[in-house]
Structure 1
Amino acid sequence: MRKVITFGTFDVLHIGHVRILQRARTHGDHLIVGLSSDELNFSKKGRNPIYPYSSRLELVSSLRFVDEVFKEESLAKKREYILAHKADVLVMGNDWEGKFDEFKDVCEVIYLPRTPSVSTTEIIEIIKERP
């Protein structure tokens, strides 16, 4: 079995999230998602996610092409997570191009194009601007 792992916050789930997870799954037989904890998201982005971890976990876990979800609590533990889950492939969006090449010694690293014109940050800003 070829295991694929990816990481993200997946806040305000949108078509870009769905498409990248679907495409990630095509690179193997089992898709594992490291879902950022609320605390990790705050440390990365300086804001809490719109949806708490428990809701994001339920949403991502419900997708038919996602086989397993775990809580990512530290960016510094990516290698540990990859090894613990025995991942053969790490898939990330191409906005991270080159940033995970250090893991090529333990798995294949693939960067997929993001869905154009879709961004969680932009969606949140649009919603905040509406009366």
Structure 2
Amino acid sequence: MRIITFGTFDMFHIGHLNIIERAKKVGTHITVGVSSDALNFSKKQRYPVCNERDRMRIVSALGCVDEVFLEESLELKAEYIKVHKADCLVMGDDWEGKFDHLKPLCDVIYLPRTPAISTTQLIEVVKEIP
């Protein structure tokens, strides 16, 4: 089964690794869409700390990842699923229900996030360091 997942993966941390590894266990092949810098800015009104090229390189280096591409629009998820021939979309449960409209194209699974870790929290901690 071919899995697809998406994320910004800024300041790569254990939560990112956990979701990708758990998503891979659902199938045999995993494709990861890494949000572009422009897409991240449109969602969060800030650019990622790490640029899209570096974030794609980090995700590509993971042994469990088979394929990586640049996600340029949230509205293109259905197209990305078709192009990458995904059988299942896996996302963190903070997106619960948001991609149910894609169920006619593929299975949709929401996995629990790793507790007590997020990129936003890491950025705040780093900002506080004198």
Q: CA deviation at 1:19?
A: 0.4
- Residue 105 of structure 2 aligns with which residue? 106
- Following superposition, which runs of at least 4 residues in structure 1 exceed 2 angstroms of deviation? none
Q: How does 1:18-33 map to 2 (within 5 A)?
A: 18-33=17-32
Whole-Å separation in 1 of the counterparts to 2:17 and 2:74: 22
Task: Give deviations 1:48-88, integer Å, cap 9, x for gaps.
Answer: 00000111011000000010000100000000100111100
Give the fraction of aligned pairs with identical amino acids, expressed as a percent: 61
The count of aligned residue pairs is 130
Q: Indicate the RMSD between aligned Cα atoms, in angstroms.
A: 0.4
Note if 1:68 corresponds to 2:67. Answer: yes
Q: Once the two structures are superposed, what CA deviation does each residue of 1:19-47 show, in whole Å capped at 9, x if it has no partner?
A: 00000000111000010000000001100
Match of 1:12 in 2: 11
In structure 1, the residue matched to 2:85 is 86
Flag structure 1 segments of 5+ consecutive residues without an equivalent: none
After superposition, the C-alpha distances for 1:63-122 in whole angstroms (9 at most, x for unaligned) are: 000100001000000001001111000000000000000010010000000000001000
Where does the alignment leave 5 or more consecutive residues of structure 2 unmatched?
Answer: none
TM-score (ref. length: structure 2): 0.99
The equivalent of 2:43 in structure 1 is: 44
Task: Provide the rounded CA distance (Å) in 1 between the counterparts of 2:77 and 2:33.
Answer: 9
